[in-house]
Amino acid sequence: MHLAYPAVLSALLFCTGLYGVLARRNAILVLMSVELMLNAVNLNLVAFDIWLSRAAEDTLHSGQALTLFTITIAAAEIGIGLAIVLAVHRNRGTSDIDRLRDTAEGHDPDHDSPAAGQAEKAEATA
Amino acid sequence: MSLAAAAVTAHAAGTHALAAHAAPSNGSHGFLSPTGVEITFLLVGLVTFGAALVTVTTRQLVHAALWLVVALGGLAVEYLLLTAEFIAWVQVLIYVGSVVVLLLFGLMLTRAPIGRSPDADSGNRWAALAVAAVAAVTLVWVVVDAFRTTWIDLDGPAAGSTEATGESLFQNWVLPFEGLSVLLLAALVGAIVLSRKAKAEPGSPSVNSGAATGSSPSVPDSRNHPIGRNGASEGTGSGASEGTTPAEQEGAR
Amino acid sequence: MTTTTLAVLVPLLPFLGAAAGLLLGRTTPGFARPLAVLPTLASLVLAVVVALRQGGGQAITAATELTPTGSVPIELALDVDGFAALVVVLVTVVATCVQVYSTGYLREDPRYASYAALVSLFTSAMLLVVYSGDLMVLLVGWEIMGICSYFLVGHYWETPEARAASIKAFLVTKLGDVPFLIGLFALATDAGSFRITKILGTVASGGLDHPTVIALLLLAGVAGKSAQFPLHTWLPDAMAGPTPVSALIHAATMVAAGVYFVARLLPVFEASQAAMVVLAVMAAVTMVGSGLAALAQDDIKRVLAYSTIGQLGYMTGALAVADRGAAVFHLLSHGAFKALLFLAAGVIIHAAGTNSLAAMSRMGHLRDRVPDAFWTMTVALLALAAIPPFSGFFSKESVLGAAEHVATGHTEHAPGAAGWTVLIAGVVTALLTAAYATRLWLLAFRGRGAEAPDHGRQPLTMTVVLWVLAVPSLAVGGFAYRVLPDWFDGDDLAPTLTTSVLGTGVALIGGIVTYAAWRHTTSLAMGVPLGAVAAHPEGDAGQVEAEAIASHTPVYGGVAYALDPADPGRLLLGPLHRHAAVGFHLDAVYRTLFVRPVQGGAALVRFLDREVVDTYVRGAGALPRWLGIAVRRAQTGNVQTYVSALLAGTVVLAVAAVLVATGA
């Protein structure tokens, strides 16, 4: 099989994920896009591992081992990421990334207090 | 290949340039009598890419997660086509089985709207599109230019069989493997701490008592509760983050 | 110990006392008084020993050159002749008296420790000036005195008068010091040395190339330091300082330094006839003008200040007729009775609670409250008015005698014109001196009206000092004129018959006329009630004085002025009174000549800086500011925007790298 097929597919998937990370508003959708990017990399790793195991007589299978590790780490990452997103959602009442602008120039810390108060109220009613 | 180029062009107008670029570069080789594997790979790849595009563009959040399942499944098929069968099944188990489920939980727990939400994309999307398009053009151009005369030899014993992968993993990669288990443990603890911390904040006593049921020690219970009461944010928040832990354990093993 | 060692110790001890006082004054206030009095007292003892050993004989000289300093060497030189030995005795006597007096006068002052240390430093600097045989070392002491006077005059810096007076004293004396410094350089260049002995040797051999220029330049510094016309205006204003400081400045240090310096370098001035005439005219104008001004002052201390200027005029007059023996003789006797006058005035101000003569003239029985001050001040005023047999008579007659000597052409040292100028001005000033002394005495002690407030007895340290100083004022003059020529150049200091009769006669006339005028005007006193008394009469004398100074302008309408029809000076001076009270408008002249142009220049510079220079600065700052605003707008807080920019940059870099790698 021509190596360009998996390589091009991987590149396209990566850029799709890139677009998602930059363009999506919901933090969970951003996480999905990150998963896409990771998978694109995995595809690359696997394809080149298969190619090298024949072409260069490589017996370490480092590409596949790394792919497994990446999958594992991605799972851990998605767990922690979701926990963070949920914590943010609880505190701020939103998981929209472009509303979390605490680092903006001229940001007023008191500005967020109504939203936080609403979130607390929501918790209390729940 | 002209078929592939046409399909790509028809599928996503936004990536017209990419496909137009990719197709001639493949075709300019003039090498081809595409084998069955290649055709299959191409078709599955088109499906995967299309599903990925829908995932990042759809306005329905839950649909995005479901299209992600298609994309990830397609990738598992691609692994199989590359004779990496163990990776393929791990992909199905972890990604399709648990990660997407987790993402769906996350969507529900953050009370994501069902149906079309008009504000799924931020105002940044045109800049994002430009960056992604340029990156895609660059990557495809470089990759095709670099590997246009390289073939993968898929004959002979499968390079990614369970046996081969297991041998290499437990002969050559034992130490990183064990290190990874420590990392997973850390992630587990981190997820718990993140959810506990939110609960330790001073709130009304009723909130704490409500949260106590959500964060009961029994793991299956805590997974069941949030589903039953997915409208509530507080008790389910802690339950969800604990709910990630079994998935991670699954993924690790 | 050798005499040289003792002489070195004389200025060194007060300096060490000052350093220790400044270091320890804040932490251990208990040491402040011993550290102030004891080193000065020890210096007095050593100075007397040095004077006795020197005995008017050969000058004691010693010199050491610490390090080569270029073409003209600077040496740590000691040069103790008869003048120096006696002046140092005077300085230490007055300084000791002032220090003892200050322990009582400022006993509740929180800044006493630094005050006493500065007085010690002041004394030390004056002793250095007197003993130094090298002009550069002399200049060091000269400038230390300037800065010390600045600090001490501004001791009550809470009052605007004191702040203004201290700055004025500093600036005016500096105005003279700049030409003085240039004159010193010119002198040293001509003579090839800063050593006084070598310079005098050069002058004697006629080696001075520009005597007139040098003498005039030096005169500027002397006029500033010794408060001679036209640089005398700082002295009356310096009355805003504490009274002991006034006594120290007027009697022993600072003003005496200028006269002493000319006496030391008199041959340099003699080398230029023009300088001598200038000196004589300066002395004459100073004498007469200050006498008239003193007659019009209301503040008791300002009367004394103008009288100091007048007496310094006598000294420079004596120098103008090339008789430095008479000048230093008058310096010594004047130092004694002027210190006494100021210290007694301090006691009176404390007792009366005011520094205004107009207010005192409406107080009965003030003299019964302060009998020590009354008697000693009477002695001192008689000495000031040059009534025989008080010491002032002998010293003043020696000056007038010397002037007459020159005027009648008996010496080639000084031009006859200078002699006549000094003689006539001296006689007129004798009249004026007696008049204002009488006026002061009558207004202060013969007041009628409400009883003076009784604050109990004055502190013993303040009254004892008065009697100690009364002795030389009373008695020393009579035998000093016989002894002093042995110490000095050997010129006869005995009073001549003509000038004695003339001087005493006009003094008596002045006193009697003033008394008559006072008899005429005193009945008017009841019609115009006047007077403000310090708010805290129970406080120490320094506090009372500070309050009196601060309240003078709001109550009487001016620092020096009071609308008192009962003032005999008003009757005597007639239309001149108004001008005399403000020092003949010299301050206004200075204001027009110097202050206004400087302020105008400052306003111009301010305008250039604010409006012109700053415009360029602001213009240069505008571009970065706009850039900053633009960059700040990019800080939206949206992480996705940041990442987009980051990745866009990465892509650009990657494309560039690929293009470079492929050689495109």
Which amino acid type is present at position B59? R
Q: Do B13 and B130 fall within a single domain?
A: yes
Chains in contact with chain C (at least 3 beta-carbon pairs closer than 8 A): A, B
For residues C208 and C186, the answer to whether their CB atoms sit within 8 Å is: no
How many beta carbons lie within 10 A of that of residue A110, not counting itself? 6
Question: If you search the block for the tokens 């390589």, which residue do you land on?
Answer: A7
Check if B27 contacts A (Cβ < 8 Å).
no
Check if B47 contacts A (Cβ < 8 Å).
no
Q: What is the token pair recorded at B171? A: 């002969």
For residues B151 and A19, the answer to whether their CB atoms sit within 8 Å is: no
- % chain C with pLDDT above 90: 4
Check if A104 contacts C (Cβ < 8 Å).
yes
Check if B92 contacts A (Cβ < 8 Å).
no
pLDDT higher than 90, residue C174: no
Half-sphere exposure of residue C482: CA atoms within 13 angstroms, side-chain side = 4
Give domain status of residue A12, yes or no. Answer: yes
Query: What 3 state SS string does C290-344 have?
Result: HHHHHHHCCEHHHHHHHHHHHHHHHHHHHHHCCCHHHHHHHHHHHHHHHHHHHHH
Compute the C-alpha angle C578/C581/C587, nearest 5°. 105
Q: Which of A89-103, C45-59, C137-151, C491-505 has the highest mean pLDDT?
A: C137-151
- % chain C with pLDDT above 70: 91
Residue B84 to residue A87, Cβ atoms within 8 A: no
Residue B131 to residue C648, Cβ atoms within 8 A: yes
Q: Do B195 and B127 fall within a single domain?
A: no
Query: Distance from A42 to chain B by nearest Cα, in Å?
Result: 9
| Non-local CB neighbours of B130 within 8 Å, separated by 6+ positions | C648
| Non-local CB neighbours of C510 within 8 Å, separated by 6+ positions | C385, C430, C431, C432, C433, C434, C435, C438
| Cα–Cα distance for residue pair C227/C236, rounded to 1 Å | 10
Query: Distance from A124 to chain C by nearest Cα, in Å?
Result: 30
Predicted pLDDT of residue A67: 92
Please count the structural domains in chain A. 1
Residue A51 to residue B106, Cβ atoms within 8 A: no
Nearest CA in chain B to C661: B142
Residue A101 to residue C636, Cβ atoms within 8 A: yes
Q: Do B179 and B159 fall within a single domain?
A: no
Scanning A51-110 for CB atoms below 8 A from B yields 51, 53-55, 59-62, 64-65, 67-69, 71-80, 82-87, 89-91, 95-98
pLDDT higher than 50, residue C592: yes
Q: Which CATH number is B73's domain given? A: 1.20.120
Q: Coil, helix or strand for C583? A: coil
| Cα–Cα distance for residue pair B235/B218, rounded to 1 Å | 15
| Cα–Cα distance for residue pair C641/C647, rounded to 1 Å | 10
Chains in contact with chain B (at least 3 beta-carbon pairs closer than 8 A): A, C
| Cα–Cα distance for residue pair A42/A23, rounded to 1 Å | 23
Q: Do B52 and B126 fall within a single domain?
A: yes
Q: Coil, helix or strand for C363? A: strand
Q: Do B94 and B179 fall within a single domain?
A: no
Scanning C590-649 for CB atoms below 8 A from B yields 638, 640-641, 644, 647-648
For residues C317 and C426, the answer to whether their CB atoms sit within 8 Å is: yes
Nearest CA in chain C to A23: C640
Q: Do B11 and B123 fall within a single domain?
A: yes
Check if C654 contacts B (Cβ < 8 Å).
yes
Q: Which CATH number is A81's domain given? A: 1.10.287.3510
Q: Do B144 and B178 fall within a single domain?
A: no
C422-481 pLDDT, tens per residue? 888 888 888 888 888 888 888 888 877 777 666 667 777 778 888 888 888 877 777 777
| Non-local CB neighbours of C651 within 8 Å, separated by 6+ positions | B131, B134, B135, B138
Across C26-54, average pLDDT:
85
> Using a CB-CB distance cutoff of 8 angstroms, which residues of chain A are in contact with residue B210?
126
pLDDT higher than 90, residue A9: yes
Residue A104 to residue C633, Cβ atoms within 8 A: no
Name which residue leads in pLDDT, A118 or C589. Answer: C589
For residues B98 and B223, the answer to whether their CB atoms sit within 8 Å is: no
Nearest CA in chain C to B126: C644
Q: Do B184 and B64 fall within a single domain?
A: no
| Non-local CB neighbours of B137 within 8 Å, separated by 6+ positions | B17, B18, B21
Name which residue leads in pLDDT, C627 or B17. Answer: C627
C272-295 pLDDT, tens per residue? 888 888 888 888 888 888 888 888
Please count the structural domains in chain B. 2
Q: Identify from C639, C640, C653 which residue to disrupt to test chain B contact, counting B C-beta atoms within 10 A and taking the largest count.
A: C640
| Cα–Cα distance for residue pair A124/A106, rounded to 1 Å | 32
Q: Identify from C629, C632, C636, C642 which residue to disrupt to test chain A contact, counting A C-beta atoms within 10 A and taking the largest count.
A: C636
> Using a CB-CB distance cutoff of 8 angstroms, which residues of chain B are in contact with residue A3?
147, 150-152
| Residue/partner pairs of C558-563 with CB below 8 Å, 24 or more apart | C558/C582, C559/C161, C559/C237, C559/C299, C559/C302, C560/C236, C560/C296, C560/C297, C560/C298, C560/C299, C560/C302, C561/C298, C562/C298, C562/C356, C562/C357, C562/C358, C562/C530, C563/C528, C563/C530
Predicted pLDDT of residue B178: 92
| Cα–Cα distance for residue pair C20/C38, rounded to 1 Å | 12
For residues B104 and B110, the answer to whether their CB atoms sit within 8 Å is: no
> Using a CB-CB distance cutoff of 8 angstroms, which residues of chain B are in contact with residue A82?
102-103, 105-106, 240-241, 244
Nearest to C310 by CA among C385, C219, C363, C247: C385
> Using a CB-CB distance cutoff of 8 angstroms, which residues of chain B are in contact with residue A84?
194
DSSP character for B60? B
Q: State the burial class of residue A8 (Cβ atoms within 10 Å of its Cβ: 0-12, 13-18, 19+).
A: buried
Q: Do B177 and B81 fall within a single domain?
A: no
Nearest to A14 by CA among C657, B56, B86, B122: B56
| Cα–Cα distance for residue pair B17/B24, rounded to 1 Å | 11
Domain of A97 in residue numbering reads as 4-101+111-125
Check if C658 contacts B (Cβ < 8 Å).
yes
Nearest CA in chain B to C658: B142
How many residues would you count in chain B?
253
Question: pLDDT tens string for chain B (253 positions)?
Answer: 443 443 343 343 333 444 444 444 444 444 556 788 888 999 999 999 999 999 999 888 888 999 999 999 999 999 999 888 899 999 999 888 888 888 888 888 887 777 787 777 877 888 889 999 999 998 998 898 888 888 888 877 777 788 888 888 888 889 999 999 999 999 989 888 887 755 555 544 443 433 334 443 433 434 344 433 443 334 333 434 444 444 444 444 3
Query: Distance from A60 to chain C by nearest Cα, in Å?
Result: 30
Domain of B42 in residue numbering reads as 2-164
Give domain status of residue A71, yes or no. Answer: yes
Predicted pLDDT of residue B33: 61
For residues C550 and C161, the answer to whether their CB atoms sit within 8 Å is: yes
Q: What is the token pair recorded at C283? A: 């002395």
Pairing between strand C76-80 and C60-64? antiparallel
Query: Distance from A87 to chain C by nearest Cα, in Å?
Result: 18
Q: Do B150 and B185 fall within a single domain?
A: no
DSSP character for C457? P
Across C653-662, average pLDDT:
88
> Using a CB-CB distance cutoff of 8 angstroms, which residues of chain B are in contact with residue C654?
138
Give domain status of residue A106, yes or no. Answer: no
How many beta carbons lie within 10 A of that of residue C57, not counting itself? 11
Half-sphere exposure of residue C166: CA atoms within 13 angstroms, side-chain side = 20
Predicted pLDDT of residue A109: 55
> Using a CB-CB distance cutoff of 8 angstroms, which residues of chain C are in contact with residue A98?
638, 640
| Cα–Cα distance for residue pair B74/B162, rounded to 1 Å | 20
Nearest to C166 by CA among C98, C247, C238: C238
> Using a CB-CB distance cutoff of 8 angstroms, which residues of chain C are in contact with residue A101?
636-638
| Cα–Cα distance for residue pair C612/C571, rounded to 1 Å | 57
Q: Coil, helix or strand for C195? A: strand
Residue B134 to residue C638, Cβ atoms within 8 A: no
Q: Do B144 and B181 fall within a single domain?
A: no
pTM here?
A: 0.64
Nearest to A63 by CA among B248, B165, B174: B165
Across C335-347, average pLDDT:
87
| Cα–Cα distance for residue pair C610/C15, rounded to 1 Å | 46
How many beta carbons lie within 10 A of that of residue B32, not counting itself? 11
Across C90-112, average pLDDT:
85
Q: Coil, helix or strand for A24? A: strand
Residues facing residue C195 across a β-bridge: C134
Query: Distance from B56 to chain C by nearest Cα, in Å?
Result: 15
CB contacts < 8 A, A to C, total 32
Q: What is the DSSP string of C244-271?
A: HHHHIIIIISTHHHHHHHHHHTHHHHHT
Name which residue leads in pLDDT, B133 or C75. Answer: B133
Give domain status of residue A20, yes or no. Answer: yes
Predicted pLDDT of residue A46: 92
Give domain status of residue B128, yes or no. Answer: yes
Compute the C-alpha angle A108/A110/A114, nearest 5°. 130
Residues facing residue C451 across a β-bridge: C364
| Cα–Cα distance for residue pair B152/B164, rounded to 1 Å | 18
Query: Distance from B25 to chain C by nearest Cα, in Å?
Result: 17
Cα-atom radius of gyration of chain C, to the nearest Å?
A: 30
Give domain status of residue B251, yes or no. Answer: no
Predicted pLDDT of residue C525: 62
Q: Identify from C651, C652, C659, C660 which residue to disrupt to test chain B contact, counting B C-beta atoms within 10 A and taking the largest count.
A: C651
CA C208 to chain centre: 31
Give domain status of residue B85, yes or no. Answer: yes
How many beta carbons lie within 10 A of that of residue C540, not counting itself? 17
| Cα–Cα distance for residue pair C439/C430, rounded to 1 Å | 14
What is the maximum alpha-carbon separation in chain B? Answer: 74
Nearest CA in chain C to A25: C640
How close are the terminal C-alpha atoms of chain A, in Å?
57
> Using a CB-CB distance cutoff of 8 angstroms, which residues of chain A are in contact with residue B45?
5, 9
Predicted pLDDT of residue C31: 79
H helix intervals, B173-218: 174-200, 205-214
For residues B140 and A11, the answer to whether their CB atoms sit within 8 Å is: yes
Q: Do B11 and B135 fall within a single domain?
A: yes
Q: Measure CB to CB from residue B61 to each of A29, A36, A68 and give the nearest one.
A: A29
For residues C475 and C368, the answer to whether their CB atoms sit within 8 Å is: no
A30-77 pLDDT, tens per residue? 999 999 999 999 999 999 998 888 887 777 888 889 999 999 999 899
For residues C551 and C529, the answer to whether their CB atoms sit within 8 Å is: no
pLDDT higher than 80, residue C39: yes
Q: Coil, helix or strand for C62? A: strand
> Using a CB-CB distance cutoff of 8 angstroms, which residues of chain A are in contact with residue C632?
105-106
| Cα–Cα distance for residue pair C390/C396, rounded to 1 Å | 11
